[in-house]
Amino acid sequence: MDPLMLARIQYAATTIFHFFFVPVSIGMVFMIAVMETMYVVKGKEEYKKMAKFWGKLFLINFAVGVVTGILQEFQFGMNWSDYSRFVGDVFGAPLAIEALAAFFLESTFIGIWIFGWDRLSKKVHLLSIWLVCFGTTLSALWILAANSFMQHPVGYQINNGRAEMTDFFALLANGQLWVEFPHTVLGALATGSFLICGISAYKMLKKIDYSFFKSSFKIALVVALCSSFLTAIFGHQQAQYLVETQPMKMAASEGLWGESGDPAPWTVAAFIDPTNKENKYEIKIPYLLSFLSYSKFSGEVKGMNELQAEYTQKYGEGNYIPPVRTTFWSFRIMVAAGSLMILFSAYGLYLWMRKKMDRPNKGYLRLMLFGISLPYIANTSGWIMTEMGRQPWTVFGLMTTADSVSPSVTAGQVLFSIIAFCTVYAALAVVMVFLWLKVIKQGPYKTDASDNEHSTDPFGKEGYHAVS
């Protein structure tokens, strides 16, 4: 088998898996910080219970996110050593800063938060969860600064056959970063809040601890609506930026081979035939692509054939068209999932305004339970579009994926690691879901079993639980 293809499969599989957990962590820790703030401000025990209950779920998720993240940092060197040599001068910096500024902060203060309930004053304890929240966001900023360089390289010069940093602040001021970072972090908030809404809806359907979950639901609903709406706004910004900086990705995500015409219509669905470079059957909405690209109802968008000719002239012979069907459909799936998220949460707000939130109808609760899947779908398909749409490049215009792979790593080695990681990751997923269901079933009012039930020490049985 081809070591390049294997390395790509491993990178995609492990990164997608990792990103099931990251947005949940970012989103949930924010929600928990909000809940604990309400506890400190209002002094109501219920909010503390909330922070702890959702905190328990968060910690299980966080653990998986952290351990799968270690691989992410090592993988560049392991599987993409030529890439690392070529961009390390620029790309290594944000990664190192992410560890130094963000990982230390979140890992230290999460320890303080978990173990500090009875050792710290309320305010210091609250501060620790906000610092974790700050840390996770900071981490997102730096890793996305690195990713933005791959989408739209800035602040570098090619010296000695590699990219060398010439302007650190250009990396941070990268326009790509400032559309990608808000879009991703807001998407993460939407993920965390939809999870809390969905789980709360489930418990409300079961009529267990109704008032606890109703309050959780309401807090999460506010965040869900705001964040999913804002995610879409920044998604729109990102699309406009894409037209300027990576028009090929834009054209591929539209399945646009030839000229779009002016004003450009948006293709809802199409049968794409990449071999003959044409689409059979298309459903189009007039004006919409112009609006998506330029925020006005006129303007042309370049097609893939024209861009291919341009790039061939600029970069030499080669195929510069990414996998069109993947890019096209992942974009649509993301948009569809995101739109449903806005609709679902807006409908919740409507029920709330109509004062129907105290006894919301079962249909709506079921909808929100199903809604848990939406952010996962949107996050995953969004990243597939972003990364697949950039192909054949790892760093747009500078280095191709084929040139990035480690020359000294054999197909056998990668095959072994794919099998090893996928097996372990599958086991992690099963265990994590199992533990989540268990914690959800237990609910917020069950005292911590872990503290006194299973002590084999006869003197440990009266072991008090300092927390509750």
Partner 1 sequence: MLSLNELWFILVAVLFIGFFFLEGFDFGVGMATGILAKNDTERRVLINSIGPFWDGNEVWLLTAGGAIFAAFPNWYATMFSGYYTPLVVLLLALIARGVAFEFRGKVQDNRWKKTWDICIFIGSLLPPFLLGVVFSGFMKGLPIDGQMEMKAGLFDMVNGYTLVGGVTVTVLCFVHGLLFTVLRTEGEIQARARRLAKQMLYPLAALLALTGVATYFATDIFEAHGTVLSVLALLGLAAFLLAGYFLSHKRDGWAFGMTGAVIALAIIGVFAGLFPNVMISSVDSAFNLTIHNAASGHYSLKVMTIVALSLLPFVLGYQIWSYFIFHKRVHEKSHLEY
Nearer of residues 146 and 256 to partner 1, judged by Cβ: 146
Interactions with partner 1, residue window 247-286 (CB under 8 A): none
56 and 439 in contact (C-beta within 8 Å)? yes
Nearer of residues 309 and 427 to partner 1, judged by Cβ: 427
Among 275, 276, 313, 456, binds partner 1 (CB under 8 A): 456
Nearer of residues 11 and 344 to partner 1, judged by Cβ: 11
CA 391 to chain centre: 20
Token readout for 110 is 């999460």
Window of 89-97, 183-191, 279-287, 291-299 that interacts with partner 1 by CB under 8 A: 89-97
Kindly state the smallest distance separating residue 245's Cβ from partner 1, in Å.
23
Token readout for 308 is 């291919």
* Distance between first and last Cα of the chain: 57
The phi, psi pair for 200, rounded to 5°, reads -60, -40
Three-state DSSP at 158 gives: strand
Among 71, 196, 272, 324, binds partner 1 (CB under 8 A): 71
Amino acid (one-letter) located at 46? E
The phi, psi pair for 163, rounded to 5°, reads -85, 125
Kindly state the smallest distance separating residue 36's Cβ from partner 1, in Å.
17
Token readout for 224 is 């869900």
Among 12, 99, 377, 429, binds partner 1 (CB under 8 A): 99
Kindly state the smallest distance separating residue 267's Cβ from partner 1, in Å.
41
Closest CA to 140 of 33, 24, 237, 232: 24
Nearer of residues 169 and 281 to partner 1, judged by Cβ: 169
Three-state DSSP at 233 gives: helix
The DSSP-derived string for 278-336 is EEEEEEEETTHHHHHHHSSS------HHHHHHHHHHHH-SS-----HHHHHHHHHHHHH
Kindly state the smallest distance separating residue 193's Cβ from partner 1, in Å.
23
Pairing between β-strand 399-400 and β-strand 393-395 as defined by DSSP bridges = antiparallel
Q: Where are the alpha helices (DSSP H) in 154-287?
A: 168-173, 175-205, 210-245, 247-254
Among 13, 40, 46, 107, binds partner 1 (CB under 8 A): 107
**Other beta carbons within 10 Å of 80:** 22
Does residue 464 interact with partner 1 by CB under 8 A?
A: yes
203 and 209 in contact (C-beta within 8 Å)? yes
Among 50, 57, 90, 272, binds partner 1 (CB under 8 A): 90
Burial classification of residue 404, based on how many CB atoms lie within 10 Å of its CB (0-12 exposed, 13-18 middle, 19 or more buried): buried
Window of 190-198, 299-307, 375-383, 451-459 that interacts with partner 1 by CB under 8 A: 451-459
Among 43, 111, 261, 286, binds partner 1 (CB under 8 A): 111
Among 12, 15, 46, 84, binds partner 1 (CB under 8 A): 84
Among 12, 16, 78, 336, binds partner 1 (CB under 8 A): 78
CA distances from 128 to 37, 196, 275 (A): 11, 21, 55
Kindly state the smallest distance separating residue 410's Cβ from partner 1, in Å.
9
Window of 69-77, 270-278, 302-310, 315-323 that interacts with partner 1 by CB under 8 A: 69-77
Q: Where are the alpha helices (DSSP H) in 354-404?
A: 362-370, 373-388, 401-404
Among 104, 297, 350, 370, binds partner 1 (CB under 8 A): 104
Among 16, 101, 205, 440, binds partner 1 (CB under 8 A): 101
263 and 298 in contact (C-beta within 8 Å)? yes
Does residue 306 interact with partner 1 by CB under 8 A?
A: no
Interactions with partner 1, residue window 197-216 (CB under 8 A): none
Window of 58-66, 231-239, 265-273, 371-379 that interacts with partner 1 by CB under 8 A: 58-66
Interactions with partner 1, residue window 419-448 (CB under 8 A): 420-421, 424, 428, 431, 435, 438-439
Residues that bind partner 1 (rule: CB under 8 A) add up to a total of: 87
Interactions with partner 1, residue window 360-419 (CB under 8 A): 406-409, 413, 416-417
Kindly state the smallest distance separating residue 131's Cβ from partner 1, in Å.
9
Does residue 118 interact with partner 1 by CB under 8 A?
A: yes
Residues in the chain: 468
Interactions with partner 1, residue window 128-167 (CB under 8 A): 159, 162, 164-166
Nearer of residues 25 and 231 to partner 1, judged by Cβ: 25
Among 67, 333, 346, 349, binds partner 1 (CB under 8 A): 67
Interactions with partner 1, residue window 11-30 (CB under 8 A): none
Long-range contacts of 106-111 (CB under 8 A, 24+ apart): 106/131, 106/132, 106/135, 106/136, 106/139, 107/66, 109/135, 110/59, 110/62
